[in-house]
Amino acid sequence: MHTADVVIVGGGIVGSSIAYHLVAAGRKNVLVIERETAQGKGSTGKSMGGVRAQFSTPVNIQMSLYSIPFYASFEERLGYPCDYRPQGYLFCATNGKHMAYLHANYEKQVALGLKNVRLVTGDEIRGMFPLLRGDDIVGGSFCSTDGFVDPYSAMIGFMTWAADHGATLWKNATVTAIARRDGSFEVATTRDTVSTPAVVNCAGAWAAEIAAMVGIDLPVEPLRRMLVPTEPFDQFPHTAPMIIDMSTGFHFRPESRGFLLAWNDPEETPGYKTDFEPAFIEKILTHAADRVPVFENVEVNPKRAWAGLYEMTPDHHPILGESPEVPGFFFANGFSGHGVMHSPATGKILSDLILTKKTDLIDAALLSFSRFAEGRTIHETAVL
């Protein structure tokens, strides 16, 4: 039987970041268990890769204030690239209610120390991007340090650094059972069994299955999100930020020589649906051409579009920290679309909680599993 100080179930970007932060803090005997033959086949490899600090709740803003500077210095710290591109996020408001909401968020963001965010007028947005249909845009919010990373590169950077410094990665190993034995855990996998005092659930959209192995009913469910890349297109500037149309939720950003289009279909229902639905293309192109008229000319190859899974919690915030019922079992689950952007902060928070039982990055109690039973849910309204 193998032994490890910490076993991390799931080798996506969150599990890889936790491994990195644990090893960097001196805990070398860390084992990451990945059920696929390669990392990133779950949600990480299908992410849009956006990173932003423009959130509506302090805890999400605080996690971004750690994560985005981390990405900015990623290659310097780890020696591997993450392709951080600070092209910004631009929220476009089309009514006074949207603008009041952005203003309230702006006040929170600045109060917590975000320096590069500003409110912009409708005229400014029309001047910045004359190819947007701007007749109904009344203003917006822009942050220049928001932007994009390559999720796969960041995940590989975290895991490679961790492995180079003592961590172990098992690929093609599925966890089949977790048993408690004398204050520790025996984690059975299709490869071997591991004894460990600490298990971290980083199983993404499949987290509830892992939690059930120790008798925990975890309120995390999968929700399909579909992304549509365009063919090469040069009629809109590739220096553009992530642009969000608040009237519909349609958003897009430059990607390679084309653009990556996203829209969260309100008719989508929870479930392990990982197939791309071709009918989605017509829906999203309708929104795209309405906000960016030159997108009427854009070409899309349905075979290049894809679907991935968000791991949703009831309040759109992650569940982080130790289980109150099962000591030594830790959650890093339910990121609701923010797993990639907040993976550096998550790695730091979980490493702190595992090693010292406390963290100064956030008020960890806010994201504890017990908040649901105690009626302490917190709602993030800036969800894309």
**Structure-token pair, residue 113:** 């120390």
Q: Are strands 199-201 and 6-9 parallel, antiparallel or unpaired?
A: parallel
For tokens 């490493």, name the residue: 351
* pLDDT of 240 strictly over 60: yes
Residue 10 main-chain phi, psi, to 5 deg: 120, 120
Average pLDDT over residues 213-225: 97
Burial of 180 (0-12, 13-18, 19+ CB in 10 A): middle
Each residue's pLDDT tens digit, 134-154 = 999 999 999 999 999 999 999
**For the chain, what are the domain ranges?**
2-49+151-220+314-371, 85-145+222-312
Say how many C-beta atoms besides its own lie within 10 A of residue 272's C-beta.
Answer: 11
Q: Which of 342, 334, 280, 344 is nearest to 309 (CA)?
A: 334
* pLDDT of 383 strictly over 70: no
Each residue's pLDDT tens digit, 34-45 = 999 999 999 998
**380: confidence class by pLDDT, cuts 50, 70, 90:** low
Each residue's pLDDT tens digit, 304-361 = 999 999 999 999 999 999 999 999 999 999 999 999 999 999 999 999 999 999 999 9
* pLDDT of 195 strictly over 90: yes
* pLDDT of 379 strictly over 90: no
* 0.85 exceeded by pTM: yes
Average pLDDT over residues 369-375: 93
Burial of 149 (0-12, 13-18, 19+ CB in 10 A): buried
The CATH homologous superfamily of the domain defined by 2-49+151-220+314-371: FAD/NAD(P)-binding domain (3.50.50.60)
CATH of domain 85-145+222-312: 3.30.9.10
- The C-alpha atoms of residue 225 and residue 261 are separated, in whole angstroms, by 11
- Alpha-carbon distance values, 140 to 89, 293, 333 (Å): 10, 20, 31
Q: Which of 97, 86, 87, 98 is nearest to 140 (CA)?
A: 98
User: Residue 378 has what pLDDT?
Assistant: 83
Residue 297 main-chain phi, psi, to 5 deg: -95, 0
Each residue's pLDDT tens digit, 278-299 = 999 999 999 999 999 999 999 9
Query: Residue 97: which residues within 8 A CB-CB, separation 6 or more?
Result: none
- pLDDT over 70, % of the chain: 98
